[in-house]
Amino acid sequence: METRKVQVTGGSTYTVSLPKSWATENDVSAGSTVEFYPEDDALLLTPQRDTHRQKGTLDISDLEGERLTRAVMTMYVSGFDIITLEAGRITTDQRRAIRDATQGLVGVEVLEETTDSVVIQDLLDSSELSIVNAVTRMRLIAGSMLEDAVRALVENDDDIARDVVERDDDVDRLWLVVSRIFRATLRSPRASEELGVSREDCFDYHSSARQLERVADHAVKISKLALKLDDVPAEVADPLGELHAEAFDIFEKSMDALFADGSDDATELGHAALESVLEIDQYTRTIDDRLRELDSIEAQSLGLIVDSLSRCADYGGNIAETALQKAAPRP
């Protein structure tokens, strides 16, 4: 850490010198323009950067299948707007993996293809993306997926179960959008300023979005088990419905706390959600007792569903803890 004394020039202008080593490393010299970003009692300074779209190149010669798909998604989350994928010769399987990756990303399309390269581009303006809107959308989809998964199980409706599985792609796409926005705010205070959301709040939304993505994954797990099961006995279906209702209530209270305007409301909702998490065990014990009377294979599948619903309640509790931290006074 280096310190500098603030001086006054011209009777009204405060000046401070920049460390030479930092200026040299960041190409700041006489005549350069720097940007200032106030954050409460702190002032962040950065060199003025080129605002053109970020370009990145990736050699995919040794990548294929899921590894290639993940590599493309990683480049997207890292903030590249135009991504060039290169190899001596791009195979049909590699092109298929690239298409799978672009279909899993919001606003990304293939711009150009040759025998040895594929260029994909993010067509959305990152400054117009809203992390709040993305997390709100994730909340709606994940919550409806969980509700429909339990309904598919209780009503033995395979169509609803398959629909839940398909909707998971929407949640995954939004999760990648949230991750991209969050990483942008870590790289540059300008991104946070354009969003109108502090970097601390972006962190809270990002961590909560991760919990929503997990809730959606468990909704898919429940739906896939529902496809394998026949009619669920009424003596198990009813307490399963009660467990879902309690888990969903925790989920809703936690998200309401995260988005609450006032700290008092957020604190009240957050504590209420966490207290409800402690009561989940009584629902799971009731169901476990009844599962002992069923066929072992059926009981095992239903036990996994009980575990998924319990975990969803825990994820809601994690969001509630984040909401409490977000509402707490800041030093």
First-to-last C-alpha distance (Å) of the chain: 21
Q: What is the pLDDT of residue 179?
A: 95
In a domain, 140, yes or no: yes
Domain span at 197: 128-327
Residues 136 and 172 in one domain: yes
pLDDT per position as a tens digit, 144-185: 999 999 999 999 999 999 999 999 999 999 999 999 999 988
Checking if the pLDDT of 63 tops 80, the result is: yes
Checking if the pLDDT of 46 tops 80, the result is: no
- Nearest C-alpha neighbor of 57 from the set 94, 88, 83, 95: 83
pLDDT band at 247 (very low <50, low <70, confident <90, very high): very high
Per mean pLDDT, which range of 122-126, 264-268, 269-273 is the poorest? 122-126
Contact 316, 254 (CB under 8 A): yes
In a domain, 187, yes or no: yes
Residues 28 and 93 in one domain: no
Q: What is the pLDDT of residue 126?
A: 60
In a domain, 167, yes or no: yes
Checking if the pLDDT of 98 tops 90, the result is: yes
Q: What is the pLDDT of residue 26?
A: 77
Checking if the pLDDT of 228 tops 80, the result is: yes
Cβ neighbors of 158 (< 8 A, separation 6 or more) are 152, 226, 227
pLDDT band at 41 (very low <50, low <70, confident <90, very high): low
User: Which of 103, 126, 149 is where one domain is finished?
Assistant: 126
Biggest CA–CA distance in the chain, Å, is: 87
Q: What is the mean pLDDT of residues 193-203?
A: 88
In a domain, 222, yes or no: yes
Checking if the pLDDT of 234 tops 90, the result is: no
- Gap between the Cα atoms of 19 and 263, Å rounded: 40
Look up residue 124 and give its amino acid: L
Per mean pLDDT, which range of 43-52, 96-105, 205-214 is the poorest? 43-52
Residues 314 and 168 in one domain: yes
Q: What is the pLDDT of residue 68?
A: 95
Q: What is the pLDDT of residue 304?
A: 94
Checking if the pLDDT of 113 tops 90, the result is: yes
Domain count, the chain: 3
Residues 209 and 89 in one domain: no
Instruction: Tell me the average pLDDT of the chain.
Output: 89
Residues 180 and 297 in one domain: yes
Q: What is the pLDDT of residue 183?
A: 92
- Gap between the Cα atoms of 232 and 110, Å rounded: 46
Q: What is the pLDDT of residue 50?
A: 65
Q: What is the mean pLDDT of residues 210-234?
A: 94
Contact 283, 150 (CB under 8 A): no
- Nearest C-alpha neighbor of 161 from the set 216, 220, 215, 214: 220
Residues 185 and 222 in one domain: yes
- Gap between the Cα atoms of 270 and 32, Å rounded: 47
Q: What is the 3-state secondary structure (H, E, C) of the chain?
A: CCCCCCEEECCCEEECCCCHHHHHHCCCCCCCCEEEEEECCEEEEEECCCCCCCEEEEECCCCCHHHHHHHHHHHHHCCCCEEEEECCCCCHHHHHHHHHHHHCCCCEEEEEECCCEEEEEECCCHHHCCHHHHHHHHHHHHHHHHHHHHHHHHHCCHHHHHHHHHHHHHHHHHHHHHHHHHHHHHHCHHHHHHHCCCHHHHHHHHHHHHHHHHHHHHHHHHHHHHHHCCCCCHHHHHHHHHHHHHHHHHHHHHHHHHHCCCHHHHHHHHHHHHHHHCCHHHHHHHHHHHHCCCCHHHHHHHHHHHHHHHHHHHHHHHHHHHHHHHHCCCC
In a domain, 2, yes or no: no
In a domain, 262, yes or no: yes
Q: What is the pLDDT of residue 174?
A: 96
User: Which of 99, 126, 153 is where one domain is finished?
Assistant: 126
Prediction pTM value: 0.86
Q: Identify any residues that bridge with 112 across adjacent strands, giving them in sequence order.
A: 119
Residues 249 and 310 in one domain: yes
Write the CATH number for 112: 3.30.110
Residues 247 and 264 in one domain: yes
In a domain, 1, yes or no: no
User: Which of 126, 149, 175 is where one domain is finished?
Assistant: 126
Q: What is the pLDDT of residue 193?
A: 80
pLDDT above 90 as % of the chain: 61
Phi-psi region of 11 (alpha: psi -120 to 50; beta: other; left: phi over 0): left
Q: Which range scores top for mean pLDDT: 30-34, 109-113, 141-145, 285-289?
A: 141-145
pLDDT band at 291 (very low <50, low <70, confident <90, very high): confident
Q: What is the mean pLDDT of residues 185-195?
A: 81
pLDDT band at 230 (very low <50, low <70, confident <90, very high): confident
pLDDT above 70 as % of the chain: 96
Contact 181, 129 (CB under 8 A): yes
Residues 117 and 161 in one domain: no
Residues 267 and 280 in one domain: yes
Write the CATH number for 187: 1.20.58.220
Q: What is the pLDDT of residue 127?
A: 60
Residues 297 and 265 in one domain: yes
Residues 185 and 273 in one domain: yes
Checking if the pLDDT of 99 tops 80, the result is: yes
In a domain, 237, yes or no: yes
Q: What is the pLDDT of residue 49?
A: 67
